[in-house]
Amino acid sequence: MKIIKTLLLLVMSLFLVLSNISVSIENVEGLTLKSLTDQKVEYNDTVSFEFMERLEAPTPKQNGRGEPLEKLVSDYGDSYINDPYLHDEVVYFRRWQWKEMYSSLDAKAKERPDYLDTYRLQAEAYLVNKEYKYALSQLDRILRVNPLDVHALSLSILANKCGALSSQTSMRLKALKLVSPNAEKRIRSILKDCDDNNANKKNYSGDQLYGITPDVIAVFGQSPNADGTPSEALLTRLTKTKEMADKYPNVKIVLSGGPVRTPYAEADVMAKWLVENGVSQDRLLLDDLARDTPGNAIGMVNLFKTINAHKILCVGTILHCPRAMTVLTVYGKTIGYDMTIDVVGGGNQPTQSQMKTERIYTYVNAFRAGYFYSKEDFNNY
């Protein structure tokens, strides 16, 4: 009876919202909203926020390589791959076929405006592509129908934290605490890890941050040149890796990165260069499936387990160090794998603008690494 009651209330709310009439909703836990309109939701006298305006689909970024991406980790759109209505768009997502995905989802959102998972999939893709305002616009389409939707509300906080409507972050956190205290506690934990590791709080450089003696050196990959040789950016990581390999000559080295933008797996390219520059092949452990930083964390930890490594020295560029540190930290906590993490960077110090962009995108990566991103991640909230 409670489920039927809730469904009837949601149907009523959709009708009234589209009619721009105020309405109150009560969820199965007994939380009663004060009012809901097309412009605003009031949870009670002190907690409320205005919805983001409805935006048209953004201009898609350049497509990726196509089908080879489909097998890489981490998979995008896991919650919708078995949905016949959205299956094709998930495949586009995993292949980085942004033009096809954006166009098809936009058409489906207009065809069936009541099918809320279309908006969820759009938002997940837009966040990956740093289209934060567009992600919030789609999430708020869900929240206009059901402001008690924990997934949409949580991702709307992420979008706001990334700058979509940053002034609303605090109020939406208060709303989430009313709707799901456990989800609010979880999101604050992830945000804290992000903020604790940002480049304005820690001095990332060409020297180890903490100076620990590691069990393993873990290298975050970067795209090589089209001919399979290391790109200039990748060489900065490899040069620092060689330096650390010489400093810790008995330590294994995990190399993580798949064939993301070229046919060549980043891990293979890195291994070839390191061997050519004097590092023994038997020290190298390769993860050739990672497509991004959360994927790096997944592949790395799988390999850490095989050698019982818990003291980790991460290698990236100085710019990438805060994201690498944060994502590996969040992923380890999420799956319960204990790690002490140090980090060292190659290349030059980034600009303030680069640091800001990287810090914001770290939030997205941390939510994904913490399995607090896709719809099915919220089944227990």
**pLDDT at res. 180:** 96
pTM: 0.92
**Token digits of residue 108:** 């489906």
pLDDT at 12: 44
Residues contacting 180, CB < 8 A, separation 6+: 150, 381
- Angle among Cα 187, 190, 194 to the nearest 5 degrees reads 135
Distance from C-alpha of 105 to C-alpha of 103, rounded to nearest angstrom: 6
In single-letter form, the type of residue at position 263 comes to: P
Question: Contact at 8 Å (CB) between 264 and 288?
Answer: no
Please provide the DSSP assignment of 138-158 as one string: HHHHHHHH-TT-HHHHHHHHH
Counting as low any pLDDT under 50, the low residues of the chain are: 1-9, 11-28
Of 118, 113, 64, nearest in space to 86 by CA: 118
CA–CA separation, 14 vs 206, rounded Å? 55
| Domains located in the chain, CATH noted | 38-198 (1.25.40), 216-369 (3.40.50.620)
Residues 367, 372, 373, 375: what is their CA dihedral angle, to the nearest 10 degrees? Answer: 180
Token couple for 189: 């934990």
